[in-house]
Structure 1
Amino acid sequence: MIKSELIDTLATENPHLTHAEVERVVNIVLGRMTDALSEGGRVELRGFGALSVRARPARAGRNPRTGDTVEVPAKSVPFFKSGKELRERLNASRDA
């Protein structure tokens, strides 16, 4: 599912809200999640999972075209850990 599909689904399930209102709410929620992660925080959605930030150290990489060694700077990357309920539902659907 992509963001526009999420907005369309929520707008359909909530006819008392306009499409623009639903889009604004989704943008606010995703924006706050991004803000929390950029500040080094954690976002937890019970039953779904948790997003956090992990630091990746600087390392020596390799340019695949030339084979030259390239220094890759340290960076922060998002990390997702699925919740128990999500894992159980995914495994139950596979077993069925």
Structure 2
Amino acid sequence: MPRKSAKSEALSVPETETIPAPPPVKKAKAPAKPRAKKADPAPVAAVAIAVEPTTEQVAEEAYLLWLSEGQPPGRDIEHWLLAEQIVRSRLSLLSAAVHSA
């Protein structure tokens, strides 16, 4: 029987022997990106908010005023102007409540 060389013996692996898998290669982490700081909200007093009622809101309020006073004739302008004040006041209070929360 011919003799195997030292190289071939070193390269041959018996069938019963398993070769361990190489350890997993760890990937280098990318440097963390700096996070942007959140801007501090402006104080409520510094924020100018335009509170304008819609025509529909004023018309509904004027109608309710007219009904509550017994449907008097000729006071439509008075009811309209009072309704504008009422609706603006409500919107202003609502806006202030939302911004202070």
TM-score by length of structure 1 reads 0.36
TM-score by length of structure 2 reads 0.34
Flag the structure with larger Rg.
2
Higher strand share: 1
